[in-house]
């Protein structure tokens, strides 16, 4: 389709409404929706938000709208296509068996995430996740309760350890492991040969219990990667706790796409992609978020309780660039000529990568 023809459809379809008819609401073809999204301008959207243009006299799925209002009615800065950035475990079916259930958010549900897939799993007291291994590394965090994990090393030593809420484990690809309900840890260790066969490598980590890597009045972040948890060679993670009104500052990751799991609270993330595309969506507990490789993003706490979420990377370490820090490391005249900020304004910007901005 020629650019001229596209412009014509956008103009006719949205500004003059001749396609749908005045004052109507209808289900238009997907191609039309895409074209009108590209046509959104900041002034146009601001104006339209103030009148009845943004209302929908037709039917709406109110509960779904209430969950994600900014997906449906985006900020005027959103435009273009950044691909899927949201899914929820609560849209996937649970595979329920005696002893618990699993449900998954994989590439089938979130096609943009090609490096990390997630499983949310429940094991009732006393039941087992049967003996197995995977072709990919496994990184898991406990959301509730207690469990015992075992993992065998190629040299025949074995780790047997207990994990509780906020603890994680890391099982390298191919390493056989189990997850089970609890008995006596000492008895289980003794039964397989005690100290003699005890793994010299630690595969579990008390993530929630560790001291924050960085902390501000806006919240805290805990980073667990191969620097403080050597076995985590291929999966790095950060646990973010953002206070109401707080912000995980504008940043991007130069080494991997980001896969997120929202554990508590309400948040809103905006993701920026070249050239000039942006997408904003809301996130609630049990939702999964995705940020494409190198895409700029920030996450706001839009609720009145702490927003808690995981940032996960298929990488050996968490690396990020802070937009604030970049600006403050540049000669001020350069910033002024690019961003039209005067010297006073530049000096209100934090000079360090704070991760979570103070409130
Ligand atoms: Mn991030």
What pLDDT digit, counting tens, does each position of 196-225 carry? 999 999 999 999 999 999 999 999 999 999
**343 shares a domain with 219:** yes
Dmax (CA) for the chain in angstroms is 81
310 C-alpha to ligand 1 centroid (Å): 9
Q: Which residues are catalytic?
A: 311
User: 133-165, pLDDT tens digit by residue?
Assistant: 999 999 999 999 999 999 999 999 999 999 999
List all residues 6 or more positions away from 338 whose beta carbon is below 8 Å from its beta carbon: none
**241 shares a domain with 351:** yes
Token pair, residue 298, equals 């920030």
- How far apart are the C-alpha atoms of 249 and 355, rounded to whole Å? 6
- How far apart are the C-alpha atoms of 356 and 202, rounded to whole Å? 30
251 C-alpha to ligand 1 centroid (Å): 6
Token pair, residue 81, equals 């296509």
**143 shares a domain with 47:** no
Domain that holds residue 20: 3-80
**189 shares a domain with 118:** yes
Q: How many structural domains comprise the chain?
A: 3
Segment 62-82 shows an average pLDDT of: 92
Which domain-ending residue is among 64, 80, 96? 80
**93 shares a domain with 61:** no
27 C-alpha to ligand 1 centroid (Å): 36
**13 shares a domain with 103:** no
Helix, strand, coil share (%) of the chain residues, nearest 5: 20, 35, 45
**127 shares a domain with 69:** no
Q: Collapsing DSSP states into helix, strand and coil, what is residue 198?
A: strand
**60 shares a domain with 132:** no
pLDDT value of residue 180: 87
**315 shares a domain with 226:** yes
226 C-alpha to ligand 1 centroid (Å): 18
**302 shares a domain with 268:** yes
283 C-alpha to ligand 1 centroid (Å): 14
Report DSSP state, residue 34.
H
93 C-alpha to ligand 1 centroid (Å): 28
pTM: predicted TM-score of the whole model, two decimal places: 0.86
**252 shares a domain with 333:** yes
- How far apart are the C-alpha atoms of 5 and 314, rounded to whole Å? 43
**29 shares a domain with 92:** no
CATH code of 109's domain: 2.60.120.10
Residue 332's alpha-carbon distances to 200, 344, 348, in angstroms, are 52, 10, 12
User: 89-98, pLDDT tens digit by residue?
Assistant: 999 999 999 8
Which domain-ending residue is among 80, 100, 125? 80
């Amino acid at each position: 389709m020629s650019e001229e023809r596209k412009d014509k459809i956008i103009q006719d379809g949205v500004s003059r409404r001749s396609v749908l008819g005045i004052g109507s609401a209808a289900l238009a073809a997907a191609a039309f929706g895409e074209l009108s999204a590209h046509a959104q301008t900041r002034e146009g959207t601001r104006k339209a938000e103030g009148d009845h243009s943004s209302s929908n006299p037709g039917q709406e799925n109110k509960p779904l709208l209430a969950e994600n209002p900014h997906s449906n009615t985006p900020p005027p800065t959103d435009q273009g296509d950044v691909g899927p950035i949201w899914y929820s475990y609560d849209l996937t079916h649970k595979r329920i068996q005696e002893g618990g259930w699993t449900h998954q958010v994989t590439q089938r549900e979130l096609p943009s995430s090609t490096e990390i897939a997630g499983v949310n799993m429940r094991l009732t007291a006393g039941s087992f996740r049967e003996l197995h291994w995977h072709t990919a590394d496994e990184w898991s965090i406990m959301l509730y309760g207690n469990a015992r994990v075992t993992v065998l090393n190629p040299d025949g030593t074995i780790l047997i350890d207990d994990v509780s809420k906020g603890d994680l484990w890391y099982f390298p690809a191919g390493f056989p492991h189990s997850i089970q309900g609890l008995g006596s840890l000492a008895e289980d260790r003794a039964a397989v040969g005690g100290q003699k066969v005890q793994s010299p490598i630690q595969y579990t980590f008390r993530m929630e219990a560790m001291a924050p890597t960085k902390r501000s009045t806006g919240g805290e972040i805990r980073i667990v990667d191969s620097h403080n948890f050597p076995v985590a060679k291929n999966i790095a993670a950060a646990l973010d706790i953002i206070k109401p009104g707080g912000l995980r500052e504008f940043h991007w990751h130069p080494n991997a796409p980001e896969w997120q799991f929202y554990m508590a609270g309400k948040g809103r993330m905006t993701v920026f992609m070249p050239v000039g595309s942006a997408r904003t969506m809301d996130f609630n507990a049990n939702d999964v978020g995705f940020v494409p490789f190198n895409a700029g993003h920030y996450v706001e706490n839009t609720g009145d309780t702490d927003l808690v979420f995981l940032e996960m990377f298929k990488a050996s370490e968490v690396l990020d660039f802070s937009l604030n820090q970049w600006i403050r490391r540049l000669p001020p005249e350069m910033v002024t000529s690019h961003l039209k900020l005067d010297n006073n304004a530049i000096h209100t910007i934090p000079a360090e990568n704070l991760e979570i901005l103070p409130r």
